Chains A and B, each alone.
Chain A
């Protein structure tokens, strides 16, 4: 796994070298093994490498040996062996064993459409010197990140925003509309970032930059069109197919020249992943997990049970609220976006353990909940639709209690309250966002902390209408369950789960995640399954459970689903966090930043510190405000130590320009 960066501009070679060195250096955590730069015509490509495949031969940027093409590539092409054979039959000659070289030959053979042939996770750029154009592409699900900006006719791109900001021509400005999106959806919309004028290439997109213009297009999309066959025989067949696909997805994801580990969360998905690996490579698998001091959140018992069932070497780390508070500023630095929950922090601590144990690659169960119907939000929407059909029923709202058996507060609610909270309005059923209304409404409460200036600048900005304009035309044809799945899979998955909670916190410690459930063949298969096979009545991931019988411990199969959660607001009350929280959330700092109102922020913090009971809205507000303020401090005001050494660099850049 690696980091990529590049500049396409008419600046002098010296200037671009200087800027690119700086940009590549900002990605060192992603690729500590070696750095490479190549400048050819108006293109300057950079690469920070973490060697996983062809340790000796896979240096980058890489040139096609008999052509004028260069690539800088982050990720893995898992079917590169098959693709290479295919290309060799067509007469292509290879000089390395790496998947990177396969990319160049594919481009030469098939043109920009070649990405359709790849099964993998990638962010890549190819400079085609004959055509004087840069080709950019990002994998179908958005596993690997790719950001870019255009400044004065130049294109600047990189794996992380901090590398783009390392270029002295790029202004640092918070995008308030993106902040508004995050304070509703938990993440910005697919092409946006927290920073003004810095964009993402959305998942499943490619683009060409030529003559100062970038043109992007979608090369792959999610589609939920399914057959209704739910007969026992059809279910059996589907379970077999799912198993075969997942096994092959895991098989090609074990291709690496370094040892591969796995995460074991105590839930079904990571148990399935581990089961698949142990079938393919029966020995020496090492698994990793994070546990919590808080018994309500801790899943250690299940993790140990799964580890002993599979007979794997298992390592775990226990994480306290104070630990989360302590690492949170570093986590923000890596995530580069405000968050409403602390959940990425424990995974940051976990990836450190993985790295310290000598592993660079882990397989995890990410994506299963999205594509096979595991999330509570799907179940919640189903119950709410059921209630909406008979709004006066006294019994139906009680079903809502079954949704969140792990939240005591909800168990104690009366039906009347449950019904009100979950917004069961018969008229809402037609709303395209029906499934997400409760979550988004609750999250948006944190916007009451926005300062008057921010509100004024946002004017009548409506992020829901922006979200609506992102929906594909097919969306309205899909059933409610598929619509909810789409919102999770196309938005939250790439822009939060796989980035803030995935790539960033893993790559912070040079660890690469690989996700068998997100093999596009598995995703396409799942999107053609009837929703009834994903959630039968209120039984989530029905087909996966059928498939997993006998593969994973019975206790893991039958335990109630528990979502991964971490201590939120209380992580910042005690311990080392207290010191920086005092400073970052002081009335003066908050006033100077101008994003939030100082007095309400003080009262919110006081509410946590006084030990008074708090609610989910308070948690999200505190984590959201604190993460935004840390982000401002680190990226806008550049107060982070690691980022301060750039003064001399900026001076030399100024001299050269």
Chain B
């Protein structure tokens, strides 16, 4: 089953925590937990854009969208749904 939460968590834990994600709850802030630094956000955004074929706009580059696994799941779901609507609209 496709599980966006697990996929995003895997990426964060592998890429930023080198496998040790035990201390990170889904609603923990990456910044407060020291998981991501200023250069890491861009790394995260590149990954999201490539993996989910979305485009993160400048005004979306905010902690509310990107700073926890919960925020990421919500943000990506919203983005994917919006894309889907566009596709559906185009097909209609």
Q: Which residues of A contact B (CB under 8 A)?
A: 407, 409-410, 412-414, 416-418, 420-422, 441-442, 444-445, 448-449, 597, 599-601, 603-604, 607, 612-617
Cβ A600 vs Cβ B18 within 8 A: yes
* Contacts known (A441-B34, A599-B19, A600-B18); A420 close to B63, Cβ less than 8 A: yes
Cβ A445 vs Cβ B62 within 8 A: no
Q: How many A-B residue pairs have CB under 8 A?
A: 77
Cβ B42 vs Cβ A412 within 8 A: yes
Q: Which residues of B contact A (CB under 8 A)?
A: 14-15, 17-20, 31, 34, 36-43, 46-47, 58-59, 61-64, 67
Cβ B37 vs Cβ A445 within 8 A: yes
Contacts of A600 in B (CB 8 A): 17-20
> Please, how many angstroms separate the alpha-carbon atoms of A482 and B20 in the complex?
40
Cβ B40 vs Cβ A448 within 8 A: no
Could you name 25 residue pairs across A and B whose Cβ atoms are closer than 8 Å? Answer: A412-B42, A413-B38, A413-B42, A416-B64, A417-B61, A421-B37, A421-B38, A422-B38, A441-B34, A449-B18, A597-B20, A599-B19, A600-B18, A601-B18, A603-B14, A604-B18, A607-B18, A613-B42, A614-B43, A615-B39, A615-B42, A615-B43, A616-B38, A616-B39, A617-B37
- Distance (whole angstroms) from the CB of B27 to the closest CB of chain A: 16
Contacts of B63 in A (CB 8 A): 416-417, 420
Contacts of A614 in B (CB 8 A): 43
> Please, how many angstroms separate the alpha-carbon atoms of A449 and B34 in the complex?
13
Contacts of A601 in B (CB 8 A): 18
Contacts of B14 in A (CB 8 A): 603
* Contacts known (A414-B61, A614-B43); A445 close to B34, Cβ less than 8 A: yes
Cβ B39 vs Cβ A417 within 8 A: no
* Contacts known (A600-B20, A607-B15); A417 close to B62, Cβ less than 8 A: yes
> Please, how many angstroms separate the alpha-carbon atoms of A422 and B37 in the complex?
10
Cβ B19 vs Cβ A603 within 8 A: yes
Which of chain A's residues has its CB closest to B66's CB? A417
> Which of B18, B19, B31, B59 lies in contact with A420, CB distance below 8 A?
B31
Which of chain A's residues has its CB closest to B13's CB? A603
Contacts of A449 in B (CB 8 A): 18
Q: Which 9 A-B pairs have the closest CB atoms?
A: A600-B18, A615-B39, A414-B61, A615-B40, A421-B38, A603-B18, A613-B43, A416-B62, A409-B39
Contacts of A445 in B (CB 8 A): 34, 37
> Please, how many angstroms separate the alpha-carbon atoms of A604 and B19 in the complex?
10
- Distance (whole angstroms) from the CB of A405 to the closest CB of chain B: 14
- Distance (whole angstroms) from the CB of B68 to the closest CB of chain A: 12
Contacts of A409 in B (CB 8 A): 38-39, 41-42
Interface centre among B18, B40, B58, B59 (most CB of A within 10 A): B18
Contacts of B62 in A (CB 8 A): 414, 416-417
Which of chain B's residues has its CB closest to A407's CB? B39
- Distance (whole angstroms) from the CB of B2 to the closest CB of chain A: 23
> Please, how many angstroms separate the alpha-carbon atoms of A614 and B18 in the complex?
12
> Please, how many angstroms separate the alpha-carbon atoms of A604 and B41 in the complex?
17
Contacts of A422 in B (CB 8 A): 38
Contacts of A597 in B (CB 8 A): 20
- Distance (whole angstroms) from the CB of B23 to the closest CB of chain A: 9
Contacts of A615 in B (CB 8 A): 36-37, 39-40, 42-43
Contacts of B47 in A (CB 8 A): 613
Which of chain B's residues has its CB closest to A412's CB? B42
Cβ B19 vs Cβ A414 within 8 A: no
> Which of A603, A604, A607, A616 lies in contact with B37, CB distance below 8 A?
A616
Contacts of A418 in B (CB 8 A): 38
Contacts of B18 in A (CB 8 A): 448-449, 599-601, 603-604, 607
Contacts of B59 in A (CB 8 A): 414
Contacts of B41 in A (CB 8 A): 409, 413, 417
- Distance (whole angstroms) from the CB of B41 to the closest CB of chain A: 6
Contacts of B42 in A (CB 8 A): 409, 412-413, 613, 615
Contacts of A421 in B (CB 8 A): 31, 37-38
> Please, how many angstroms separate the alpha-carbon atoms of A504 and B46 in the complex?
40
Cβ A617 vs Cβ B40 within 8 A: yes
Contacts of B61 in A (CB 8 A): 412-414, 416-417
- Distance (whole angstroms) from the CB of A417 to the closest CB of chain B: 6
Which of chain B's residues has its CB closest to A620's CB? B37
> Please, how many angstroms separate the alpha-carbon atoms of A613 and B31 in the complex?
18
